[in-house]
C-alpha cells in the first residue's frame, strides 16, 4: 500500500519489476493532482499499469490523460464526429467495429491495420516529437475469443546484452517510418501508401539507446524502425529484428488479458514495447480506444537534421 494505492507487480525477475495492477484509485470523481503525482512516480518504475473496471467514459479517459501531459495526440484520420465511431479527435479507435456497428470484415482496411498493431512496436516512434504514454480503455462487454495486449521490458532486455554489443549500439540513430511497419504487416494494402498518407506521417529519427524515466538505459525500438544511419537497409533490418527478438523473449514479456469493460492499461512508450493480438474470425466485439500523451521530457524530440549532417546521407 503506497499512499492509499495498492500496487501488485506482474513480472518480478532479475532484480527488476515490470508491470503492475493498481488498486485504490477512485475513478468516480476527478483524480487529485496528488494522486496523479504518486501514480507517475510509481509508473516510472513499473512502466505498465493496469486498472480494472474503472467505469471511465470517453470524457474521463481524456481528462485523466490530460493530467499526465499537456498535449494529447490528435488522430490525423479523424474526419468529424459523423464519420468516426468513437467521435473524439483525441481518441484512436483500435477496436474491431466498423462505423455501421458491424464487426470488421476480414481483409478490410481496418483488419489489415490490426495486423500492424500485432507486430512488436512502440507507439509514435515515427513522430519527431514522440509520445511518452498510451492509455487504452475498453468499452462494453468482455471480449470472447482471446483478447490480450502483450508488453516487453526493454530496460531489462538492454541490461542483459553483452558489453561489446552495448558499445556497438551506444551511438546509433534509427529512422522510424510508419509506412515501413504497415508494409511489413500488410504489403498488399500498405505496399504503396498514398502521397497524402506519406505527407501526414514522414519518418523521424531517434537514438537507439536511451535513458529511461527510471534512470536505467533502454532500447528504443519498434517495428517502425526502418534504417540505422550509416548502414544499409538489409544490415539495419537484421540488427533491428535481432534486438526486437531479444527484447521480446518470454522472460521479458507479460500478457494483459482484457477482462471487463472499463479496464485500462497505461504504458510508458519510452521504456517498453507492446503488441496486440490480431483480429480473429469468431472474436466478439472489441471496443478499445486509445489516448496518447505527447512526450515533454528531455529526449522528446529525438535527433533532428539540425546539427547532424549524417542524417542527410541516410538514403542507401
Ligand atoms: Fe500500439
| Contact assessment for residue 9 and residue 17, using Cβ atoms and an 8 Å cutoff | yes
Is the predicted pLDDT of residue 152 greater than 50, yes or no?
A: yes
Dist. CA 187 → ligand 1 center (Å)? 19
Ligand 1 centroid–CA 3 distance in Å is 31
- What are the pLDDT digits (tens) for 24-54? 999 999 999 999 999 999 999 999 999 999 9
pLDDT at position 312 over 60: no
| pTM of the complete model | 0.92
144 has pLDDT over 80: no
For ligand 1, a single-atom ion, which residues have Cβ within 5 Å?
Answer: 123
Distance from the alpha carbon of residue 181 to the mean position of ligand 1, in angstroms: 12
Sequence-distant (6+) residues with CB within 8 A of 96 are 103, 104, 110, 114, 279, 283, 285, 286
Ligand 1 centroid, distance to 95 Cα (angstroms): 12
Compute the distance from residue 4 Cα to the ligand 1 centre, in Å.
30
> Taking 80 as the threshold, does the pLDDT of residue 315 lie above it?
no
Distance 102 CA to ligand 1 centre (A): 23
Which residues, other chains included, contact 219 with Cβ-Cβ below 8 Å and sequence gap of 6+? 154, 157, 158, 169, 208, 209, 210, 243, 247
Q: What distance in angstroms lies between residue 221's CA and the mean position of ligand 1's atoms? A: 12
Domains belonging to the chain, first-starting first, are 6-313 (3.60.130.10)
Distance (Å) from CA 162 to ligand 1 centroid: 29
Instruction: Identify the pLDDT of residue 252.
Output: 97
119 C-alpha to ligand 1 centroid (Å): 9
Residues contacting 126, CB < 8 A, separation 6+: 176, 177, 178, 201, 203, 204, 224
What is the structure's pLDDT at 81?
67
Beta-strand relationship, 16-23 and 48-51: parallel
**In terms of pLDDT, which residue wins out, 229 or 95?**
229
Ligand 1 mean position, distance from CA 201 (Å): 16
- Span 172-217, pLDDT tens digits: 999 999 999 888 887 777 778 888 888 888 999 999 999 999 999 9
**Is residue 136's pLDDT more than 50?**
yes
Amino acid at each position: 500500500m503506497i499512499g492509499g494505492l495498492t500496487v501488485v507487480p506482474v513480472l518480478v525477475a532479475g532484480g527488476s519489476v515490470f508491470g503492475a495492477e493498481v488498486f485504490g484509485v477512485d475513478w468516480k470523481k476527478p483524480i487529485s493532482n496528488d494522486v496523479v503525482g504518486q501514480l507517475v512516480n510509481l509508473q516510472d518504475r513499473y512502466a505498465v499499469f493496469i486498472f480494472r473496471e474503472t467505469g471511465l467514459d470517453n470524457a474521463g479517459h481524456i481528462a485523466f490523460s490530460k493530467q499526465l501531459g499537456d498535449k494529447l495526440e490528435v488522430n490525423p484520420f479523424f474526419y468529424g464526429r459523423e464519420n468516426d465511431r468513437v467521435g473524439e479527435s483525441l481518441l484512436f479507435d483500435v477496436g474491431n467495429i466498423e462505423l455501421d456497428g458491424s464487426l470488421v470484415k476480414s481483409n478490410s482496411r481496418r483488419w489489415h491495420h490490426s495486423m500492424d498493431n500485432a507486430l512488436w512496436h512502440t507507439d509514435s516512434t515515427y513522430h519527431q516529437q514522440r509520445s511518452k504514454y498510451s492509455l487504452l480503455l475498453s468499452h462494453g462487454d468482455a471480449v470472447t475469443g482471446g483478447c490480450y495486449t502483450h508488453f516487453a521490458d526493454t530496460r531489462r532486455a538492454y541490461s542483459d546484452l553483452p558489453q561489446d554489443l552495448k558499445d556497438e549500439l551506444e551511438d546509433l540513430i534509427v529512422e522510424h517510418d510508419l509506412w515501413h511497419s504497415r508494409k511489413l504487416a500488410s504489403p498488399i494494402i500498405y505496399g504503396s501508401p498514398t502521397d497524402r498518407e506519406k505527407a501526414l506521417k514522414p519518418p523521424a529519427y531517434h537514438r537507439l539507446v536511451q535513458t529511461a524515466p527510471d534512470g536505467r538505459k533502454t532500447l528504443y525500438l519498434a517495428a517502425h524502425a526502418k534504417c540505422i544511419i550509416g548502414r544499409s537497409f538489409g544490415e539495419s533490418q537484421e540488427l533491428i529484428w535481432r534486438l526486437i527478438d531479444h527484447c521480446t523473449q518470454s522472460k521479458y514479456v507479460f500478457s494483459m488479458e482484457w477482462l471487463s469493460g472499463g479496464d485500462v492499461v497505461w504504458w510508458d512508450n519510452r521504456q517498453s514495447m507492446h503488441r496486440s493480438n490480431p483480429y480473429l474470425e469468431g472474436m466478439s466485439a472489441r471496443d478499445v480506444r486509445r489516448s496518447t500523451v505527447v512526450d515533454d521530457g528531455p529526449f522528446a524530440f529525438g535527433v533532428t537534421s539540425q546539427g547532424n549532417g549524417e542524417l542527410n546521407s541516410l538514403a542507401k
